Structure 1
Amino acid sequence: MICFRTPVEGDYRKIAELHANSWQENYRGTFSDDFLDNKVHRERLAVWKERFLHPSEHQYIVLAEEEGTLLGFCCAYIDQSTYYGTYLDNLHVSTKAKRRGLGTVLIQKLIQEIRQRNATDKLYLWVLDTNEEAINFYDTLKGRREEPIKDDDIGDAEFWKIRYVWDSLRILEECILTKLERYERRRI
């Protein structure tokens, strides 16, 4: 049974490992093999340790676990932007847990948190233009794509990234409910 929970102090290591593994699977060809094979685990561990040692007051993290194994996580910053609203910085699901609706439920949990905090009714995120799986996922959630921009704020190379925007969480919630109903029908 999958459970969702807020992280505790020692969880940053598990999060960093899943995050690094996800980059290795999805960003091959975007970042150098040397970075992905030899440096990404150390780099993500440093990032997550810092996030746990000095969390932003707007930071929200939720984990999805099954029998103590981390299957996915979501990290967002509530009302990060006055224009775009909440920033979904990370959404990662382990390969073995994909196609089970986990990413969809993690976003649903984020929306619940946004509503609970009475935050702006908007959400945005960035996705690398080479991450076709993520692009397809966000397209099914009816995110509005903005023009790609070139950046180098992560990894070890320049890349193109696309901002996805939801001007209303209501649209996103409707898509989430539809996706979850489909997952449920497949299980029956």
Structure 2
Amino acid sequence: MTEARGFFVAPVGFRTASSNDYSSITDLHVRVSGEAYAGILPTDYLASVMPDEKAKLWERRLASPVQLEKISITVAEVRADLVGFACFVLDEETQFGSYLHNLYVDRSFQGNRLGPRLLIESISRFSSERREMPVHLLTIRENDQARRLYDRLGGNVIEEKQNVMSRCPEVTFVRYQWPSARMMASNASALCTPLHGANGR
């Protein structure tokens, strides 16, 4: 890896995902989920069930051509390495707005505000109309690291719910919502301000 924790030693590039990213996104999703949910979700689920679930998920989402009217996936790369991705699902639970279904960053890049930068880049690809629509997400209640970020991004908790995962029905999720994607991007930009000028952007 080309990074030392606390700063980037190579420029980060952002682009829209393609079907060629299937393996890299799946691998990153499985690896980071296993780290984030250790001690929260059952060990046998993380080890034996989740990898196949994620492989099928990304096989479906990244089928060629990617259905851009239904999904928006932005990846972050350092040289040839995929180090993070954000996925907005545009046609699911639309009563709450655009659904941020995934925001994942390689462990060695966490703490560098790459998550907020992925949000900024993703939302910049939205139409002007969609930037004014609300954004929402679901996260596990005990996922403290993710929730700290969403709190700092100014998200509002609007509900708690269970039975989101059929294999883990006892897990409780919280739903965060932002009044608009534009506001989420603005709050993310404020978090990134100390890094401007230090990473080539």
Give the TM-score of the pair, scaled to structure 2.
0.83
Q: Deviations over 1:49-94 (max 9, x none)?
A: 1111274432010100111111100111236444322111100001
Matched, 1:24 2:45: no
**2:164–2:173 contact (8 Å) kept in structure 1:** no
User: CA separation in 1, counterparts of 2:18 and 2:162?
Assistant: 35
Of Structure 1 and Structure 2, the greater helix share is in: 1
In structure 2, what is the equivalent of residue 167 of structure 1? Answer: 179
**2:123–2:181 contact (8 Å) kept in structure 1:** yes
In structure 2, what is the equivalent of residue 118 of structure 1? Answer: 129
Q: CA deviation at 1:170?
A: 4.1
In structure 2, what residue type is equivalent to 1:175? N
Q: Deviations over 1:29-66 (max 9, x none)?
A: 33221121233222211111111127443201010011
In structure 2, what is the equivalent of residue 135 of structure 1? Answer: 147
Q: CA deviation at 1:10?
A: 2.3
Give the TM-score of the pair, scaled to structure 1.
0.88
**1:129–1:161 contact (8 Å) kept in structure 2:** yes
Secondary structure at the aligned position of 2:159 is classed as coil
Segments of 5+ residues of structure 1 without an aligned counterpart are: none
User: CA separation in 2, counterparts of 1:90 and 1:63?
Assistant: 11
Segments of 5+ residues of structure 2 without an aligned counterpart are: 1-10
Query: Out of 58, 76, 79, which is 1:48 matched to?
Result: 58
In structure 2, what residue type is equivalent to 1:42? D
Secondary structure at the aligned position of 1:25 is classed as helix
Identity of aligned residues (%): 26
11 and 142 in structure 1: CA distance in 2 versus 1, 3 angstrom threshold? same
User: CA separation in 2, counterparts of 1:48 and 1:167?
Assistant: 28
In structure 2, what residue type is equivalent to 1:157? C
In structure 2, what is the equivalent of residue 157 of structure 1? Answer: 168
Q: CA deviation at 1:186?
A: 7.3
